[in-house]
A and B are shown apart, each in its own frame.
Chain A
Amino acid sequence: MIVYVVQRVLLTGLMLFGLICITFTVSNVAPSDPAALAAGPDATRDMVETVRREYGLDKPIWEQFVRYVSDLARGDFGRSIVSTRAVGTELAQYFPATFELVALAMGLGVLVGVPLGMLSAVYKNRPFDHLVRVFAVSGVALPAFWFGLVLQLTFAAQLELLPTSGRLDIASPPPPPVTRMFLVDSLLAGDWQTFADAFAHAILPAIVLSFPCLASILRVNRAEMVEVLSADYIVAARAHGVSPWRIVAVHALRNAMLPTLAMIGLRYGWMLGSTVLVETVFDWPGIGLYAVSSAIAGDFKPVMGVTLLIGLNFMIANLVVDLLYGWLDPRLRAAQ
């Protein structure tokens, strides 16, 4: 098991290095001259050259790369041209908001998707299964902006149950920043009122974000469960008199969870990279909006920073999935 863990961690480190190479290469082959961009549109030739020297852009490419990596190691992602603030600081501000949303959406996706998929497999081709199938297909098919607007209209405008947008009520101050995730920070501060407010604001965007994810988790889990439920060891468990629900929820689910876990890991990365629509509709100041507005402004460093951060998260998610795989399936531990 230890060998397995070490192997996975090393592999993740290797992937991270690959990702850094890619972002570095992209920023160097991109058509615009970073020095000219940094110096601004009205800069003279001399000013551009000065900037070039200042940023070390006149040095050989391998030196630039070493500098890029050592900067990253110190958490220096460079500066944003638009805001002139350090990209690291901005990421630390926007990322927790997105992460909070994605974590909620993921929780919803797993907690609803896995049981529904399981039940769907148990009642295969019965009315319940058909109903769930319609639900799952709409989850994949409904565009996020439309679904978000409909939810806002229904629950915020008409029923007035939930707030329309934003992370908190305008009147209530944000909790003292520790993680910058309002739900966590308000809990740390013991401020239940702010927690309730933050939670009410997060419900609708989390539902919209999680719907496609929930649907794909559900479908994968259903397909796996259908297959596992016809396995020989399930027949044997029945023959030995184990109760039907225990067979489904313990004996079969653990086996069916393996491919479902892989899907969950993929969906996590996918969600992080696709929050922009939900963030726009719900006016959620997250990393998606930050990346898109920076890209439109031709502001390179923030885009690279976001790419690296999402990539890193993706890798961590896959590492966690790999480790869970090893925990769930003893055969993997032995195979190493």
Chain B
Amino acid sequence: MAAAPLLAIHDYRLVFDGFEGTAHVLDGIDLELGAAETLGVVGETGCGKSVLAKSVLRLLPSPPARVVAGSIRFEGVDILAANDRAMRAIRGPRVAMIFQDPATFLNPVFTIGQQLLDVIAAHEREKPKAERRARAAMRAHAVSLLQQVRLPDAEALMGRYPHQLSGGMRQRVLIAMALSGAPALLIADEPTTALDVTIQAQVLRLIADLVRDLGLAVMMISHDLGVVASTCRRVVVMYSGTIVEDAPIARIFAQARHPYTKGLLAAIPTLAGSAAKLSGIAGSIPNLIAPPPGCRFHPRCPLAVERCRAEKPALRDFGGGHRVACHRAEES
């Protein structure tokens, strides 16, 4: 990254205040993303990957969410300090987001056209008066967006309601909405989890093609390393609110250094080794209200030593864009 990064997150700490106590959901996230860079964020349920994605657009309800420390900057704008107006100029036109379950992320009582036009009109209002488009031009834009995400018969689709569409079509509509403001960064929060496998492959190919054609930067949240591998060049592995490893995708598969990443890789079933029992990672996700001291992974780690219990490992640079947060990273 030569110039200033598109997105820079520094020492970001977020907690959720609840009845049972304060959950330390994100614990010191350091992450930078350049223009047109494709980044996958993987980790198991509850590791904070979706929370991190929503933080970038400040979509978390507060309370319970509370930022304790750190900063998030997008194109130099301090997201955490920006007012609502400034946030609206970012949401949609600069950073767009697509979501996990397309069934629930479209409003059931409005047509596809109404919803798409509403989003486009919202973006128009951010522009100076002279540059705003007429209603007809916005409609034409909406139709062309639907065509861009390869939906057949876009004109007729404008008058349809979400329940008349299949899951894959709904996700395409959401992608069209996300693209409507010509954003620089696309955040995809498990965009294929709710879809069946064949549709999943189509949607992933669509995203990959759009990203390449439009030069978008992507932050792809997933629990599936395979999904990330097919769309991203770089991957960040999260565990219990921390980044444990950050590396180019090929590097992760070839020479992962963090014991948790290795555990994840070992848990992927292979076509050849069907006879062997699948290996998992022993233990379960740590309690976020009273997280383990030191390295949060140490209770489940086969390599844990005394130091891991006492001292939180920092993300250290191993060259070639490879960062690992483990005291014993050199040994593996």
Contact = CB atoms under 8 A, between A and B. Distances in A.
B10 interface: no
A240 B164 contact: no
A236 interface: yes
A173 interface: no
Contact of A232 (B61, B105, B122): B105
Nearest to A250: B118
Interface string B147-185: 000000000000001011000000000100110110000
Contact of A231 (B104, B164, B180): B104
B163 A242 contact: no
A241 B123 CA distance: 7
Interface stretch (A5-13, A86-94, A280-288, A326-334): A326-334
B181 A331 contact: no
A246 B106 contact: no
A34 to B, nearest CB: 52
A238 B61 CA distance: 12
B237 interface: no
Contacts of B111: 330
A236 B100 CA distance: 11
Contacts of B178: 240
Interface string B88-125: 11111100110101001111111100000011001101
A241 B91 contact: yes
Given A232-B101, A233-B107, A255-B107, A242 B122 contact: yes
B130 to A, nearest CB: 20
A239 B107 contact: no
Contacts of A241: 88-93, 119, 122-123, 126, 181
A251 B108 contact: no
A261 B177 CA distance: 31
A236 B108 contact: no
B106 A233 contact: yes
B163 A246 contact: no
A231 B111 CA distance: 17
B105 A246 contact: no
Interface string A235-273: 111111111101000110011000000000000000000
B228 interface: no
Contact of A244 (B84, B89, B123, B177): B84
B329 interface: no
Given A232-B104, A246-B122, A239 B109 contact: no
Interface residues of B, number: 36
Interface string A216-239: 000000000000001111011111
Given A240-B177, A241-B88, A235 B105 contact: yes
A84 B118 CA distance: 63
A255 B57 contact: no
Given A232-B101, A232-B104, A241-B126, A329 B109 contact: yes
B102 to A, nearest CB: 9
Contact of A242 (B99, B101, B119, B161): B119
B132 to A, nearest CB: 15
A313 B241 CA distance: 60
B310 interface: no
A327 to B, nearest CB: 10
B267 interface: no
Contacts of B164: 334
B119 to A, nearest CB: 4
Given A240-B92, A240-B96, A255 B109 contact: yes
Contacts of B305: none
A330 B84 contact: no
B59 A238 contact: yes
A89 B42 CA distance: 77
A80 B332 CA distance: 100
Contact of A331 (B96, B101, B163): B163
Contact of A246 (B59, B118, B177): B118
A239 B108 contact: no
In this complex, which of A254, A255, A330, A331 has the most chain B Cβ atoms within 10 angstroms of its Cβ?
A330
Contact of B109 (A243, A328, A334): A328
Contacts of B163: 330-331, 334
Contacts of A233: 104-108
A24 B57 CA distance: 65
A85 B91 CA distance: 71
Contacts of B96: 239-240
Interface in A311-331: 328-331
Nearest to A251: B107
Nearest to A335: B163
B104 A239 contact: no
B22 to A, nearest CB: 20
B92 A331 contact: no
Interface string A100-124: 0000000000000000000000000
Contact of A240 (B61, B89, B91, B109): B91
B99 A232 contact: yes
A329 B109 CA distance: 5
Given A232-B99, A330-B163, A240 B107 contact: no
B99 A236 contact: yes
5 contacts: A235-B59, A236-B99, A236-B105, A236-B106, A237-B118
Across chains A and B, which 9 residue pairs bring their CB atoms closest together, nearest first?
A241-B92, A232-B104, A241-B91, A330-B161, A236-B105, A239-B97, A233-B107, A240-B119, A242-B122
Given A236-B174, A241-B119, 18 more contacts: A231-B104, A232-B101, A233-B105, A233-B107, A233-B108, A237-B107, A239-B59, A240-B91, A240-B119, A241-B93, A243-B125, A250-B118, A251-B107, A251-B118, A254-B110, A330-B109, A331-B161, A331-B163
